[in-house]
Amino acid sequence: MSPVAGQEPRGSWPARVYRHSLTRFLFFSAVGLTFDLTVLALMDALTPLPYQASVTIAFVLTYALNFCLNRWFAFDAAHGHAGGQLGRFLPQVAADYVLVVFGVTLLVELGLPLLPARVLSAATNAVLNYCAYRWWTFRDAGTAGLPADEQVDA
């Protein structure tokens, strides 16, 4: 199949998968979750804080890291206005925080250890976070919300 006049081929499917925001989001989510679990395990082992406080501290540190990694690398949105992105990010994080604390608390109360409870709560929020990052937090007003990896030159 030949490309449309004026458009270059988008590349092989491995290149498209690599460039897609979902692939990069999943990679940086794994980095963030590893960071979160490390902080959480250290706080649980080394401090007398209740697990809700440890989850909160790890969550805040992780989401600061996630905002930067996703903004710069996963969604190629560093060219956008950081204030607007941060303004859209904070309500998303607040909702995510409520879901995480509720999920972790419920699972721990049901007898699941803290770290597996945190992993399960992160997994349930990943889909919501990707959609929010892609179509709201890091959207580019000039491209109708399409991330850089899905923009088509006219």
pLDDT single digits (tens) 98-122: 999 999 999 999 999 999 999 999 8
End-to-end CA distance of the chain: 19
pTM to 2 decimals?
0.71
User: How many residues are there in the chain?
Assistant: 154
Confidence tier at 10 by pLDDT (50, 70, 90): low
Q: Is the pLDDT of residue 146 over 70?
A: no
Q: Is the pLDDT of residue 133 over 80?
A: yes
Report the distance separating Cα 110 and Cα 153, nearest Å.
52
Domain boundaries defined on the chain: 15-144
The 10 Å CB-count burial string (b at 16+, else e) for 90-105 is eebbeebbeebbebbe
Of 42, 47, 80, which Cα lies nearest the Cα of 61?
Answer: 42
**What is the predicted pLDDT for the residue at 151?**
46
Report the distance separating Cα 34 and Cα 44, nearest Å.
15
